[in-house]
Structure 1
Amino acid sequence: MNIQNKLSLTELESLLKSDNEQELIEALMYAVFNIDESRWIQAKCHELIYSDKSLNIKGLAITCLGHVARIHGAIDKNITIPLLIKLSKDQDLSGRASDALDDIEQFVKNKDIIR
């Protein structure tokens, strides 16, 4: 699958529930770079992080939270920051969580983010 057409949120919702890892990766990347609803994207990333999907998918969802901060200059600090801090202690996901926290610190306008 190679997404070339504009997708609706409904279409993305369906693709983000796919069991096909490549479809899911492409849908998540499409959402991050083409959808202008940062809260919706964050919610989808959180769902994937808490899902039973592979570490690859969870790691990408974490990275995408950093992309949201960079692209939109905003993040839901009350939900995303505690989640990333928790994940920064996870052996498999700590590097990506730390990178996402760094992106948030660098790109979110409100600089009172505490680790």
Structure 2
Amino acid sequence: MNSYSRCSVEDTFANGDEKIICDAILLMTFNDPDWKWVQNKLLDFLSSPSESIRGVSATCLGHLARIHGVLEKGKVIKKLSALRADKDISGQVESAMEDIEMFL
């Protein structure tokens, strides 16, 4: 995936390949101007059975806060807080929460 289009990332998300989905999540986070759409996609991905997808989604919520300076903070913190006990991604969750506090 060389250039960004929302249609291409949506197609990638439907693909099911974990590595490619993670790459598309990063691409979306850094390139889509609609922070709210990206935020909601990331929140959805936090429920993925894939540790990698959950982890990169948590990390990208921190990136989104840094890039745009805005999120639906209460909604995002609530979802991230619920994942603090997820030992597979707890470090990424904590980092994202720190980034959100720093940039919002």
Tell me the TM-score normalised to structure 1 length.
0.83
List 4+ stretches of structure 1 deviating above 4 A: none
Structure of larger gyration radius = 1
Give the root-mean-square deviation of aligned CA atoms.
1.3
In structure 2, give the amino acid aligned to 1:38. Answer: W
- Picking from 80, 86, 98, the partner of 1:102 is 98
Taking the aligned partners of 2:73 and 2:48, their CA distance within structure 1 comes to 21
Gapped runs of 5+ residues in structure 2? none
**Bigger proportion of residues as helix:** 2
Taking the aligned partners of 1:91 and 1:22, their CA distance within structure 2 comes to 20
How many residues of Structure 1 are paired with residues of Structure 2 in the alignment? 104
- Asked if structure 1 preserves the Cα contact closer than 8 Å seen for 2:4 and 2:27, the reply is no
Q: Identity across aligned pairs (percent)?
A: 34
Residue 93 (structure 1) shift: 1.8
In structure 2, give the amino acid aligned to 1:14. Answer: D
Q: Which residue of 2 aligns with 1:112?
A: none
- Picking from 83, 105, 115, the partner of 2:79 is 83
**3-state DSSP class of the match of 1:16?**
helix
Q: Quickly say closer, same or farther: Cα 1:29–1:79, change in 2 above 3 A.
A: same
Q: Which residue of 2 aligns with 1:41?
A: 38
Residue 33 (structure 1) shift: 0.8
In structure 1, give the amino acid aligned to 2:59. Answer: T
Residue 17 (structure 1) shift: 2.6
Are 1:20 and 2:56 an aligned pair? Answer: no
Gapped runs of 5+ residues in structure 1? 109-115
Tell me the TM-score normalised to structure 2 length.
0.91
Residue 79 (structure 1) shift: 1.4
- Asked if structure 1 preserves the Cα contact closer than 8 Å seen for 2:58 and 2:96, the reply is yes
- Asked if structure 1 preserves the Cα contact closer than 8 Å seen for 2:12 and 2:20, the reply is yes
Residue 25 (structure 1) shift: 1.5
- Picking from 61, 67, 70, the partner of 1:65 is 61
